[in-house]
Amino acid sequence: MWQELLKQVQQGNIKALARSISLVENEYPGYEILLQSLPATTAKIIGITGPPGAGKSTLVDSLIGLLVNSGKKIAVLCVDPSSPFNHGALLGDRIRMNDWYVHPNVFIRSLATRGSMGGLHPKIIEITDLLKAFQFDHILIETVGVGQSEVEIVGLADVTAVVVVPEAGDEVQTMKAGLMEIADVFVVNKADRPDADLFVKNLRLMLAPSFSKHYNEVPIVKTVALQKEGINELLDIILNLLQKAHLNDKTFWLLAEKAFYLIEQKRMKDINKGQLKKEIEDCFKKGSFNLYKFISDK
């Protein structure tokens, strides 16, 4: 079953790809066989991240348009917020991309974070590798925008674009230790708003002084995604950065991060939140609940 499914995926069967993702996402028995059979690929990942309201979905929509018009086949993973109670996704942002859902050269999949603190989906690595097997020209991942903890995207993407807006001055200050450090390119979206030039100037000043030389080299692009302004320049920068991407020490650190994450997931597999909740309720009823003792007994 699994070898046949993988063969269909590699032959460009979009239904087989969608089915494979569902089987992996839901941990269908034996799904590891499919993953272990995946061939090595050199497909590159473009990560689009940033705080909520920065216009990431509109930006991705514009990038899809440019790539499709140049004859490219595109996959897009949109990681949405999910309810902490039923883990369902809130898919409102996907309305901005509805023109592409039936396009033959575009595959869009929405995923819920399912409680993941880093803004990604717990099976994002595996799903991304499945997309690589399909041999798309470009794979875009738009993350949920949960703030500083969203740095997980750097362990997945070959190029990471951090999207901010002009009025995010105070917010950018708080992002220094997180989003600020993972950007390969900064996108100042909604740049038709007042003080956009001043914000770009302050962003450059913030990056330059006491940080490493890398920050002086990070490009900053002004865009107005709704009007498609600045998108061509942004895409040129991203494609140029992808061409420069090559095997180095960072590559192997990122693979180590992926391996660590997958090992962690595997070892935590027997931990069930629903069961934990029930056990905690029972302890509370006995009047003897202490969180740290509860954990130490596990």
Angle at the Cα of 296 from the Cα atoms of 292 and 297, rounded to 5 degrees: 120
Q: Is the pLDDT of residue 149 over 50?
A: no
pLDDT (average), residues 61-79: 92
The pLDDT of residue 31 is above 80: yes
DSSP letter at 81?
-
What does the pLDDT read at residue 168? 64
- pLDDT of 87: 43
More confident residue, 249 or 126: 126
Phi, psi of 223 (to 5 degrees): -135, 155
Question: Do 136 and 45 touch, CB atoms closer than 8 A?
Answer: no
283: helix, coil or strand? helix
- Which pLDDT score, from 0 to 100, does residue 229 have? 95
Helix (H) or strand (E) holding 62: helix 56-69
Q: Select the more confidently predicted residue: 180 or 261.
A: 261
Each residue's pLDDT tens digit, 209-254: 545 544 457 899 999 999 999 999 999 999 999 988 666 666 677 7
pLDDT tens digit sequence for 94-106: 556 677 878 889 9
Say whether 106 sits in a helix, a strand or coil: strand
Q: pTM of the entire structure?
A: 0.79
Mean pLDDT across 10-35 = 91
| H helices, E strands: number in the chain | 12, 7
Q: Output the pLDDT for position 245.
A: 67
% of residues, the chain, pLDDT over 70: 76
What integer pLDDT is reported at residue 178 of this predicted model?
A: 56
Q: How far apart are the first and last CA of the chain?
A: 37
Q: Give the residue from 254, 245, 248 showing the smallest Cα distance to 44.
A: 245
Using alpha carbons, select from 139, 149, 111 the residue that is nearest to residue 48.
139
Picking from 118, 132, 110, the residue whose alpha carbon sits closest to that of residue 260 is: 118
Q: Any idea what the Cα angle at residue 163 is, between residues 56 and 95, rounded to 5°?
A: 5
Looking at every residue in the chain, the average pLDDT score rounds to: 80
User: Is 80 exceeded by the pLDDT of residue 198?
Assistant: yes
Residue 247: what pLDDT?
Answer: 63
